[in-house]
């Protein structure tokens, strides 16, 4: 797969929203279709940078079902790549809509100890400000819907300081 797919999936992930009065409907449909096509083409061999690109693509508040393909793509990665890639995408996790970050973190926790440990280890070397904000995001999702199940809590351990 071409390295350009990472750039393209991020661009196409910025899905046209219903209140957009500028983008023609045919362009909105083309972008949605291309996004799903790109996500469906992921084999899981794209490495942690591929995981990070997919996470970075989850920009739209309303995805009209397109992000299901991205979530399925994340599940095709080796668990160690998923964990490292999610850590590489820490800044993106902080900037995408809360539903998107919650879903990614749930996929990560439910992928098992290899994914979780890889994430915890990789995020440990992130910038202290990013770690702090990411810890707050995880705590938010643990107190809300996405990571509220007991089995999903206290797995993503982001070091302080």
Span 59-112, pLDDT tens digits: 999 998 999 999 999 999 999 999 999 999 999 999 999 999 999 999 999 999
Statement: the pTM of the whole predicted model exceeds 0.85: yes
Task: Count Cα neighbours of 137 within 13 Å in the Cβ-side half-sphere.
Answer: 25
- Mean of pLDDT values over 137-150: 94
Per-residue pLDDT at 132: 94
Per-residue pLDDT at 1: 62
H or E element that contains 25? helix 25-40
Per-residue pLDDT at 161: 60
* Greatest distance between any 2 Cα atoms in the chain: 48
Summary count for the chain: helices (H), strands (E)? 9, 0
| pLDDT (tens digit per residue) in 105-118 | 999 999 999 999 99
- Give yes or no for residue 145 having a pLDDT over 90: no
Contact predicate 88/51, CB 8 Å:
yes
Q: Radius of gyration (Cα) for the chain, nearest Å?
A: 15
Quick one: what percent of the chain has pLDDT higher than 70?
98
Name the residue with tokens 């797969």: 1
Higher pLDDT among residues 126 and 111, named by residue: 111
Q: Where are the domains of the chain?
A: 4-152
Nearest one of 8, 80, 72 to 42, comparing CA atoms: 72
């Amino acid at each position: 797969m071409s390295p350009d797919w990472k750039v393209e999936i991020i661009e196409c992930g910025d899905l046209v929203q219903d209140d957009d009065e500028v983008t023609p409907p045919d362009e909105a449909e083309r972008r949605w279709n291309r996004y799903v096509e790109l996500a469906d083409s992921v084999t899981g061999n794209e490495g942690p940078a591929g995981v990070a690109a997919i996470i970075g693509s989850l920009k739209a508040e309303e995805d009209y079902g397109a992000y299901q393909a991205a979530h399925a793509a994340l599940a095709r990665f080796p668990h160690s790549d998923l964990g490292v890639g999610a850590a590489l995408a820490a800044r993106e996790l902080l900037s995408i809509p809360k539903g998107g970050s919650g879903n990614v973190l749930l996929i990560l926790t439910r992928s098992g100890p290899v994914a979780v440990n890889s994430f915890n280890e990789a995020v440990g070397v992130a910038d202290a400000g990013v770690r702090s904000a990411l810890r707050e995001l995880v705590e938010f999702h643990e107190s809300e819907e996405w990571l509220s199940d007991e089995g999903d809590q206290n797995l993503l351990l982001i070091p302080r300081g």
